[in-house]
Amino acid sequence: MDPGPHDLLIIDDDESYREMLARAMGRRGFGVATAASGDDALTLCACHRPRYILLDLNLAGQSGLNLIGPLRQLAPLARIVILTGYASIQTTVSALKLGAAQYLPKPASVADIVQALLDDAIDIPEFADAKRMTVQHLEWEYIQKTLIEHGGNVAATARALQMHRRTLQRKLAKKRHISG
């Protein structure tokens, strides 16, 4: 498939990364639209019906996995590739089950991203440090999984985790500031 106008939608809340990636993909022949939030992404997806979507897993503390279904409804033939700084086997499997075609840990090279967008083979990447995952990272992954199970509802997630809602909100905000 040859890329064409408005065929790639990049969804990432990190403005500098999003714009750098948009320029790099534009130089490789992709027509690029960008979005910083889920709402912006859904609006652009409805207007442009992209063939390819790059989706960050962590969008301002919200899970990008929650966007896969709505994006699939708007652009059912789009190839969705997840980019994340929080790579784990569990979120990889979740993303693939929800309809993502690929899952790349950040930082991914532009060549790897292009290959993931255009290559039809599903490949679950190896995570070099998966054996040395920190307790904080495991906690973050578990919180994200539980948040997804409760449709992004912080209060319901806090109840399921047997955690005070404000404590959960602080953990989510802290991680957002560290990663963002």
**How high is the pLDDT of residue 142?**
76
**How high is the pLDDT of residue 115?**
87
Cis-peptide into 107, omega within 30 deg: yes
pLDDT digits (tens, 9 = 90+) for 107-123: 788 888 888 888 765 54
Question: Looking at the predicted structure, is the pLDDT value of residue 171 above 50?
Answer: yes
> pLDDT category, 154, cuts 50, 70, 90?
confident
> pLDDT category, 179, cuts 50, 70, 90?
very low
**How high is the pLDDT of residue 162?**
86
Please list, in sequence order, all residues whose beta carbon lies within 8 angstroms of the beta carbon of residue 76, skipping any fewer than 6 positions away. none
**How high is the pLDDT of residue 6?**
56
Structural tokens at position 163: 């955690």
Question: Looking at the predicted structure, is the pLDDT value of residue 156 above 70?
Answer: yes
More confident residue, 160 or 85: 160
Question: Looking at the predicted structure, is the pLDDT value of residue 180 above 50?
Answer: no
Question: How far is CA 90 from each of CA 57, 94, 106, rounded to the nearest angstrom?
Answer: 13, 6, 16
Mean pLDDT calculated for residue range 86-108: 78
pLDDT digits (tens, 9 = 90+) for 47-91: 888 999 999 888 877 788 889 999 999 999 899 998 887 666 777
Q: Give the residue from 80, 72, 73, 128 showing the smallest Cα distance to 102.
A: 80
**How high is the pLDDT of residue 59?**
82
Mean pLDDT calculated for residue range 24-44: 91
Distance CA 76, CA 90 (A): 24
Domain residue ranges in the chain: 8-118, 134-179
More confident residue, 80 or 92: 80
**CB contact at 8 A, 73 and 52:** no
Q: Give the residue from 151, 29, 24 showing the smallest Cα distance to 83.
A: 24
Class in CATH terms, 8-118:
alpha beta
Listing DSSP states for the chain in one string gives ----TT-EEEE-S-HHHHHHHHHHHHHTT--EEEESSHHHHHHHHHHH--SEEEEESEETTEETHHHHHHHHHH-TTPEEEEEESS--HHHHHHHHHHT-SEEEESS--HHHHHHHHH--S------TTGGG--HHHHHHHHHHHHHHHTTT-HHHHHHHTT--HHHHHHHHHHHHHHH-
Class in CATH terms, 134-179:
mainly alpha
